[in-house]
Chain A
Amino acid sequence: MRVESLRFNGIGKNFPGVRALSDISFEVRPGSVHALMGENGAGKSTLLKILGGAYQPSTGSLQIGSQTLVFKSAAESIGSGVAVIHQELHLVPEMSVAENLLLGHMPARFGLIDRSAMLRRAGELLAGLADEIDPRQRLGSLSLGQRQLVEIAKAMSRNAHVIAFDEPTSSLSAREIDRLMTIIAKLRDEGRVVLYVSHRMEEIFRICDAVTVFKDGRYVRTFDDMAELTHDQLVTCMVGRDIQDIYNYRPRPHQGQALRVEGLLGPGLHEPVSFSVAKGEVLGFFGLVGAGRTELLRLLSGLAASKAGSLTLNGRSLTLANPRDAIAAGILLCPEDRKKEGIVPLASVAENINIGARDRHLTLGCLVQGPWEKENAARQIKALNIKTPSAEQPIMYLSGGNQQKAILGRWLSMPMKVLLLDEPTRGIDIGAKAEIYQIIHGLAADGIAVIVVSSDLMEVIGISDRILVMSEGALTGEVLREQAQESRLLQLALPRTRG
């Protein structure tokens, strides 16, 4: 197979108010596996979406061989021999494997689908890749790993010579990962261009021939020689600066227990969870995706109902039937998915800030107090340094960091005892991150108990007084700030059942 190299030429992408990518240029050689790395929000997924034709670049172009291209649609991307395998697979669960594989070009005779030809063709595509999958099976009955293989077979059926994987192993078992690695090695040996996005260092070092690092939507550098590259070098390159100074940590006194959780069980928690957090303490929760941390916060914020266990806040026992109960008690959550659960996108910044506290400032029990709302919005915008042209700007035009600060402003307008932060800096640029850490520490200094859930190891270590580690729906360890080391935390976070 003769494949030409893939080049990104000065690719940039702007969204209203946010520059997601700027001036990305690098080359991927055929017959190599090229990793894209960077923190969340560094721009890897945006770049893959441009490659797949889902987004159009604001500047720059792609180059395959000598051809300069800008894909206007997914169809154009596919037509040029590109296949992007996304985290969410684009398959139809209710149709058979064969139908999924040949969707769009099923063999037909006189307009009727030729079933036997379809099954034969599907069988050929799966041969050597996933022989155990019967093309007649309903796709929905396959495991996630098998579905991924179907997606890969689909890419091969179109004879794609550029194949990009977006975090393909996040939901696979160890065996399935092994098989995926074998397949990727085969794709490479056939001389195709393979792009590989993953956060997992061991996979990068196992399979990749080159790594390009992104940061805050910019190209940082490409490492061509994996043998010369060390783990630490790569991490430093990704983070891009001395970590200490952005966390701005200063030890402060704790003032007695705020929230105590005992024997808590509920959806996503497989073993009873018990812990406590003191007033003025920043308690970090580390774990891999799916460890049960978000589920724990949902229980603590009244979003999900617990099956067993008790909560005590400032010595008083607490039952939470819904988020209002938690808010009334002063337990306030900044959710993980800002867009989906945090902001009301079309509403103004002021509206998003005042939506929670409004109930406490009413005339005659139902009339909104305009002057108070105006003043409160202005106060929070100033105090939190929210960058917006005006309080009336729809919040969707703000950058992620400023949206997050507005949600913090919403809670700062209300009596707060415990602040729950779920991935507070995901997708936020470094400057806003530092500001958010400063806010967190300021709140802790005022005696608020802060619980921070994060998948960002350095963040957890950088801001927490104490770290609890979760894995597979259970607490697996407690580490004090002084003893916090990456390797120790990772070891506690890795599922024990996994190979």
Chain B
Amino acid sequence: MSTQNTLPAPRQGLNLRRFLDEWVMLLAALAIFVLCTMFIDNFLSPLNMRGLGLAISTTGIAACTMLYCLASGHFDLSVGSVIACAGVIAAVVMRDTESVLLGVGAALLMGLVVGLINGIVIAKLRINALIATLATMQIVRGLAYIFSNGKAVGVMQEDFFIFGNGQLMGVPVPILITIVCFIFFGWLLNYTTYGRNTMAIGGNQEAALLAGVHVDRTKIIIFAVHGVIGALAGVVLASRMTSGQPMIGQGFELTVISACVLGGVSLAGGIGMIRHVIAGVLILAIIENAMNLKNIDTFYQYVIRGTILLIAVIIDRLKRR
């Protein structure tokens, strides 16, 4: 028997650790929320809660699919540009055709194309995701400026504003879309081959390939879906602002990645759950909201956000010890 070489696995410790890995950040988000309600005036006011929800929505939607990129061992820097370009394209197409459907469709199609390009370049040509998406980030940002002539493009169609300003039973539509995304992509990750294969690829690509997983195809789908969802976030944002703005969302990709990592998604791939994403998005948004309510200078907010990100990656590193 192999008992001579096998120690009884430290089961109790492992379970506790796994429990912490999975839930600690969500509990932390809850704790921060409670602290804010206790110590910050107006934090719990309906108006502020609504603002907080909206602040979560854009990051939350994009983070759902960034989770897949990270879990597969990659990431996507182009999502900020995709958001801007999607808003611009939707606005320009609606200006020219007066059709909301065409405008939104064109924006999502752009997201799909950019995602496919990212996916194919990364999966088939084996180009590092950093370089590949750094390139598309700049290309797509450039296109956003070109399509809009560098200026915000206003939207006249009332129907379009449903995405950003509509309500269903008192809940703003962007928040509903975010919740649907959280549920859908969380479910997808656990209950479909697509989701399980994503985790396996991030955990060990070679092993996944040898076990018969469609590695390249899965990666391309991950980036394509991420492109479409990024564009959807862009449409929602444009709708909220009633215009497509080419300069919006700069540095947004980093906010999304830091939200994921803060929540517990591993930058190295193979570890990630939707509750990590929810926790990370909540923590970042609540802290930002609290800083605004406390009138903390924007300059200091940068320092604080950077510090939080640094702590998050250090935690990620320590977890893999």
Contact = CB atoms under 8 A, between A and B. Distances in A.
A49 B169 CA distance: 65
Given A341-B206, A343-B207, A345-B203, A327 B212 contact: yes
A319 to B, nearest CB: 17
Contacts of B2: 387, 399, 401-402, 429, 431-432, 435
B200 interface: yes
Contacts of A344: 199-200, 203-204, 207-208, 270
A362 interface: yes
Given A343-B207, A389-B11, A368 B191 contact: yes
A347 B199 contact: yes
A227 interface: no
B16 interface: no
A200 to B, nearest CB: 26
A356 B4 contact: no
A459 interface: no
B211 interface: yes
B212 A324 contact: yes
Contacts of A402: 2, 6
A368 B5 contact: no
A216 interface: yes
Contacts of B200: 344, 347, 351, 355
B128 interface: no
Contacts of A340: 204, 206-207
A397 interface: yes
B227 to A, nearest CB: 20
Contacts of B124: none
Interface core residue of B3, B7, B211, B213 (most chain A CB under 10 Å): B211
A19 B211 contact: no
Contacts of A355: 196, 200, 208, 211-213
A333 B211 CA distance: 9
A495 interface: no
Interface in A328-358: 333, 335, 340-347, 351, 355-356, 358
A173 interface: no
Contacts of A367: 191-192
Interface core residue of B2, B3, B11, B208 (most chain A CB under 10 Å): B2
Contacts of B114: none
A14 B10 CA distance: 12
A388 B210 CA distance: 23
A435 B5 CA distance: 14
Contacts of A342: 207, 210
Given A18-B5, A393-B9, A429-B2, A324 B214 contact: yes
Nearest to A343: B207
B5 A429 contact: yes
B303 interface: no
B271 A303 contact: no
Interface core residue of B192, B199, B212 (most chain A CB under 10 Å): B212
B38 interface: no
Interface residues of A, number: 46
Interface in A262-288: none
Contacts of A14: 7
A464 B193 CA distance: 38
Contacts of A393: 9, 14
Contacts of B270: 344-347
A362 B193 contact: yes
Nearest to A387: B6
B1 interface: yes
Contacts of A112: none
Contacts of A347: 199-200, 203, 270
Interface residues of B, number: 32
B209 interface: yes
B194 interface: yes
A18 B4 CA distance: 9
Contacts of B208: 344, 355
Contacts of A343: 204, 207
A271 to B, nearest CB: 27
Contact of B7 (A17, A358, A362): A17
B213 to A, nearest CB: 7
Interface of A is mostly: mixed
A293 B255 CA distance: 49
Given A389-B9, A397-B9, A399-B6, A356 B203 contact: no
A359 interface: yes
A338 to B, nearest CB: 9
Interface in A395-409: 397, 399, 401-402
Interface string B88-110: 00000000000000000000000
Contacts of B203: 344-347
B33 to A, nearest CB: 30
Contact of A17 (B4, B6, B191, B271): B6
Nearest to B271: A346
A429 B210 CA distance: 25
B56 to A, nearest CB: 28
Nearest to A392: B18
A397 to B, nearest CB: 6
Contacts of A477: none
A19 B5 contact: yes
A303 B9 CA distance: 35
A431 B211 contact: no
A462 interface: no
A356 B191 contact: no
A410 interface: yes
A323 B6 CA distance: 33
A366 interface: yes
Contacts of B193: 358-359, 362, 366, 368
Nearest to B212: A327
Interface string B54-73: 00000000000000000000
A115 to B, nearest CB: 35
B266 to A, nearest CB: 8
A90 B196 CA distance: 38
Contact of B14 (A341, A366, A397): A397
A217 B5 contact: yes
B7 A18 contact: yes
A362 B194 CA distance: 12
Contacts of A333: 210
Interface in B197-224: 199-200, 203-204, 206-214
Contacts of A323: 209-212
B210 A303 contact: yes
Nearest to A397: B9
A431 B210 contact: no
A323 B211 CA distance: 8
Interface of B: 1-7, 9-11, 14, 190-194, 196, 199-200, 203-204, 206-214, 270-271
Interface of A: 14, 16-19, 216-217, 301, 303, 323-324, 327, 333, 335, 340-347, 351, 355-356, 358-359, 362, 366-368, 370, 387-390, 393, 397, 399, 401-402, 410, 429, 431-432, 435
- For the complex of A and B, the 10 pairs showing the least CB-CB separation, nearest first, are A344-B203, A431-B2, A429-B5, A327-B212, A341-B206, A432-B2, A344-B204, A356-B211, A346-B270, A355-B211
5 contacts: A17-B7, A19-B5, A344-B204, A351-B196, A387-B2
